Amino acid sequence: MEFVQQNIFLIAIAIVSGGMLLVLTFRRPGGAKAVTASEATMLINRESAQVIDIRDPNEYIAGHLVDSRNIPAASLAERAGELEQFKEKPLILVCQSGARSQVACGTLGKLGFVRVHNLEGGIAAWGEAGLPLKKGARR
């Protein structure tokens, strides 16, 4: 007991920092769940998940997931009404590396979308997994 009294400040720091590590370990930004390319494929095939590519149109045209919809990150909040039918269904957000789409997941989460997923590693990981990309027109 004497040890605790003499080192209460150090013990408090240890408890707080441990708690913060636990929170960061289990928390996903924006409440989004990161999914791998194979997990995304299963969501698309089994639950008809809608893929939203949040990259700029020129990036999208260069190569995107088949049947994905292009809504650039800058206009995601104002165009969220286009996704109302997917509020309770799985949405997979995609960008080049997974960083921008992770932030965008938070935006949709705040707007009431409950099943928002971020493609871990983005288009780059999708391509590395050998999965198909389509080039051309926006949808």
Domain annotation covers residue 11: no
Domain annotation covers residue 87: yes
Domain annotation covers residue 78: yes
Q: Is the pLDDT of residue 23 over 90?
A: no
- Residue 24, pLDDT score: 58
Residue from 74, 50, 53 nearest 134 by CA = 53
Domain annotation covers residue 139: no
- Residue 41, pLDDT score: 96
Residue numbers of the domain that contains 84: 30-128
Q: Give pLDDT tens digits for 51-78.
A: 999 999 999 999 999 999 999 999 999 9
Q: How many domains does the chain have?
A: 1
* Residues that are catalytic: 95
- Kindly report the CATH number assigned to the domain that includes residue 93: 3.40.250.10
Domain annotation covers residue 2: no
Domain annotation covers residue 9: no
